[in-house]
Amino acid sequence: MWHAGKSMKKIQLGQLLLRGSYWIDTGLQSGLQARGWPEITHAQSMMIIAIGEGINTPSSLAHYLGISRQAVHQTLKDLEKLDIINMLPNPEDRRSKLVELAPLSVPIMQDAKEILIELENQLSQRIGKSQVKQLRRALEQDWD
């Protein structure tokens, strides 16, 4: 993709991925608010998704999301106040906590899944089903 402008620069892949990520997150946030859920930040939604994928310690969340442990701890505190997550003692490491989605978060997670499916369908309508399938295959690869 080329950006129309004075220098006709090619947009970097990272920028395109971020643009797509923000499109999804904005759609998710709007959809959740339309269904009556409280506003959550981009950082909070990324944390919820990671926890939903089974990442359950603050240090692993920091590594996975590429953010500081301090940022993780603050975001987890905020999510705990919203009753979206629970912090539990870690039986394997007394210095660490385990993070789990709270029972009250089940309805918001169900709504989020439905909204993400709707967004994928919208994307399929915009760029084509085969393009979305190719994109999915590429993103499902192990990047490590």
The answer on pLDDT for 6 being more than 80 is no
Q: Select from 66, 68, 58, 67 the least CA-distant residue to 97.
A: 58
Q: Do 96 and 88 meet the contact criterion of CB atoms below 8 Å apart?
A: no
The model carries a pTM of 0.75
Percent of the chain with pLDDT over 70: 94
Residues 95-104: tens digit of each pLDDT: 889 999 999 8
Sign of CA dihedral 49, 53, 57, 61: negative
Structure confidence at residue 86 as a pLDDT band (50, 70, 90): very high
Confidence of residue 80 (pLDDT cuts 50, 70, 90): very high
pLDDT in tens, 112-134: 889 999 999 999 999 999 999 99
98 or 49, greater pLDDT:
98
Residue 5 has pLDDT above 60, yes or no: no
Q: Residue 2: its pLDDT value, please?
A: 46
**What spatial distance separates the first Cα and last Cα of the chain, rounded to whole Å?**
26
CA distances from 142 to 39, 137, 139 (A): 32, 10, 8
> 143: pLDDT confidence band, cut at 50, 70 and 90?
confident
Region 74-88: mean pLDDT is: 94
Give the mean pLDDT of the chain: 90
